[in-house]
Chain A
């Protein structure tokens, strides 16, 4: 699966994409989400699942790549690559061996809005796994060898992306839409900024960004609250109370025009989008239903029907709501041979227009609701995915009982709601970013 510049950053959105359903014959989940609060005040959502003897923990610190200092773009991403490369008494080799020899999986990642991590461990190695996580978060070493090695890997990756049309199309879209705002900057940095990052930058990152006050935790698996509480305090208790985050203003994307970056490839990649809807907007769920109808529903979506099924112009076309904190977005993507780029873009515009005119029927909304409510339990079948969903619930402020309530939020959406929101959402100017050699398509700024 291709991972473009923004794709990693939408994980939280996707984790919450569907809804819980109360299936006819049984409640969707027997187990309840618990909110654990430790003596040191650390909070976590826990869903206990004793079937398999392991536990998945996911966490998210608010403040991501958008917080990276000027000229140090990619600092969060580089820190993500280095926290598990040596900490406390363990140098890189010893730390990696401790993880791999014990089948402990630990990883970190950064997106525009936050810094995330996941820990997965068998019950037998649980105490040790949490201790390794504590060391990674509080005593990372940033020894010279791993710093230069990971820097080399990031530079190699950036070089590869220079000619990756998916990456370039998304990059160009964000650079234009958010010119002058931190959201315009590449989350992985550039060769120049990555080369400039120092060990001191990395230490400042740890001291300033990883705190209890901006932390969200989700845990799923074979562990009780009583077992979890001391582990949470031992692992996260030593972090500073509050992070040092720069205030960054919200921003409206500038989404007029068409970007064309010429590249000699047989198929052009097109990224498109405009402003979306805030996650806490009362109309969010209606927007979610509207996007399902337009481009979120796979074979059930209008974009797939018109562009793939009827005309065979693409293999894949889709759209989604990207819940970026400072500028919620509606984004989409397709890829088609150079001869048909203009036709495919015209079809996207035509479908946006139909939505904006309110050409939505009761059966469209009913079908969307049955899928969105019915499919949510499918996403709650593995500890990893549950832990990620729990983190997103915390970060988005959705509440402990969200899994039970979410179905009702969708059920409450009416046809009028969807039409009203579609008019508001899809009447906006859409910026198209094209990388390839499209025929008869020129760049324009208006």
Chain B
């Protein structure tokens, strides 16, 4: 891990790898008396564990006018408690020989440590402690706000592609809070106060709104007493339901163009509103995963073959979809032209490939081929302790169950070519889409 990237914002790409396979993870689960759910996946290759606590709250639950507040709180969670002196949390973990970090996304906030098995209980005590005993000074809250503004400058304001990405989301969702940047709008970050963060903390941080995931050299039997002695001592308390603004029907195709002085390499992204595992139409999610894979994943995908190899128009092209999202997610298609080719030419070719999908030109053979590959790749997912922890944490904070994760291979296996065709027709609708173009300034475009 690159030192210096600490409390981190997870933007889009932080989703679990789609890969998870039945009988591969073999998780054990139990629930503490206070309602905190616990998942254990054993992996005994080294005397090490990945210890993650996931809260079912994220940027999409930000108070109005305070976009990114959950991420601000995530940073402040490293400040201290009655027991942990200010700024000491990560230093103590380091002195225990561990690594720690945290991440925020739309639907979750997660904290983790990688640590030797025999020091697990200590970090569990620390994590449980800061679930309810956080202390923040006024000075810390102001300084950390500046840190987040620098983080925003690094991740977004210095990056034209990120600026476009923010605007694409803001236009894709007319009403639902997935329209907000995960890190928050600059001017709203500037308005954050210590009281904002603490009020949010007191509203959402409770054992009954949290999930413990431990992957590594431990059994559920051994973990349970540790969990009871630490998290189990925190009383449950009422947490509000996650009631978010609902998205109205989408009826118009949108285009967002960002012209920026620093763009040398244009690109286009088409984003379609799509069901997630957890929403109405969620039974299509597995077919959409197969669709994204065959259409735009890797160098043998249709898009890459057509635009990059056969027509030689694009430097890159692909598609991306993930079903793990509490509310409606997006199916995205992107391409970037080769030098000397206009974006218009690439878009025309892209639209032709989309039209083929809509015409049902998908074969059983290619569906079978990508399904086989997706299932084979799932084996690799077992190799990373934190990767496995993320798969379960993301699933359980976005409306899925442990059984859903374990059933993933069977559900992918069961996807038929007809379902993939139907998923393409239902989702790839212009009136539910935004087309985002990243372009150089006008004068350069005329060259």
Note whether A and B form a binding pair: yes
Which residues 1-60 of A sit at the B interface, judged by CB distance below 8 A? Answer: 1, 21, 23-26, 28-29, 49, 51-54
A88 interfacial by beta-carbon distance below 8 Å: no
Within 8 Å CB of B316, what residues of A? 153, 156
B158 touches A (CB below 8 Å): yes
Q: Are B338 and A100 in contact (CB-based, < 8 A)? A: no
B-side contacts of A373, CB under 8 Å: 97
Q: Which of B309, B380, B383 has the most CB of A within 10 A?
A: B383
State the CA gap A300–B78 with chains docked (Å): 13
Q: Which residues of A contact B380 (CB under 8 A)?
A: 54, 103, 120
**Docked complex Cα distance between A312 and B97 (Å):** 26
Interface size on A, residues (CB 8 A): 80
Interface on chain B toward A: helix, strand, loop, or mixed SS? mixed
Q: Give Cα distance in the complex from A110 to B222, angstroms.
A: 45
Docked pose: A318 CA to B6 CA in angstroms? 11
Chain B 293-329 interface mask (CB, 8 Å, partner A; 1/0)? 0000011100001001100100110000000000000
A103 to B371: give the CA distance in the assembly, Å.
Answer: 11
Residue A149 is within 8 A (CB to CB) of chain B in the complex: yes
- Cβ A100 vs Cβ B118 within 8 A: no
Say yes or no: A378 contacts B147, CB within 8 Å. no
Q: Of B146, B265, B299, which is within 8 A of A100 by CB?
A: B299
**Chain A residue contacts of B143, Cβ below 8 A:** 309-312
Asked whether, in the complex, the Cβ of B99 is within 8 Å of the Cβ of A378, the reply is yes
| Smallest Cβ-Cβ distance to B142: which chain A residue | A312
A266 and B157 contact, CB distance less than 8 A: yes
Say whether A152 faces chain B, with CB atoms less than 8 Å apart. yes
Q: Which residues of A contact B99 (CB under 8 A)?
A: 375, 378
B143: shortest Cβ distance to chain A, in Å?
Answer: 4
How many of chain B's residues have a CB under 8 angstroms from any CB in A? Answer: 70
Q: How far is the CB of B71 from chain A (nearest CB, A)?
A: 12
Is the C-beta of B87 less than 8 angstroms from some C-beta in chain A?
A: yes
Q: Is the CB of B157 within 8 A of A267?
A: yes
Instruction: Pick from A21, A152, A335 the residue with the most CB of B within 10 Å.
Output: A152
Which of A120, A337, A380 is B153 in contact with, Cβ under 8 Å?
A: A337
Q: Which of A21, A101, A383 has the most CB of B within 10 A?
A: A101
Do residues B154 and A51 form an inter-chain contact, with CB atoms below 8 A?
A: no
Stretch at the interface among B41-49, B170-178, B199-207: B41-49
A383 touches B383 (CB 8 A): yes
- In the complex, residue of chain B having the shortest beta-carbon distance to the beta carbon of A378: B114
CB–CB A266/B158 < 8 A: yes
Q: B298 and A100: CB pair below 8 A?
A: yes
Say whether A102 contacts B383, CB under 8 Å: no
Chain A hits for B90, CB < 8 A: 298-300
- A343-367 near B? 1/0 per residue, CB < 8 Å: 0000000000000000000000001
Alpha-carbon distance between A331 and B327 when the two chains are bound, in angstroms:
44
Instruction: Let me know if B48 and A149 touch, CB within 8 A.
Output: no
Q: Is B5 an interface residue (CB 8 A)?
A: yes
Other-chain residue from B5, B142, B312, B338 in contact with A156 (beta carbon distance below 8 A): B338
**Residue B244 is within 8 A (CB to CB) of chain A in the complex:** no
Complex contacts, B383 vs chain A, CB 8 Å = 52, 54, 382-384
Contact B265 A93 (CB under 8 A): no
Q: Is A229 an interface residue (CB 8 A)?
A: no
Minimal beta-carbon separation of B311 from chain A (angstroms): 11
Chain A residues 301-325 with CB under 8 Å of chain B are: 301, 304-305, 308-318, 320
Contacts A145-B309, A318-B3 supplied; 10 other A-B pairs, CB < 8 Å: A29-B46, A103-B380, A156-B316, A159-B339, A163-B262, A299-B94, A301-B3, A315-B151, A333-B4, A367-B94
9 A/B residue pairs, CB under 8 Å, sorted by A: A103-B376, A120-B380, A298-B4, A298-B94, A299-B91, A300-B91, A300-B94, A381-B45, A382-B383
For the complex of A and B, 3 pairs with smallest distance between CB atoms:
A374-B97, A312-B146, A316-B4
A interface with B by C-beta (< 8 Å): 1, 21, 23-26, 28-29, 49, 51-54, 92-93, 96-97, 100-103, 120, 122, 145, 148-149, 152-153, 155-157, 159-160, 162-163, 165, 263-267, 269, 295-301, 304-305, 308-318, 320, 333, 335-337, 367, 370-371, 373-375, 377-378, 380-384
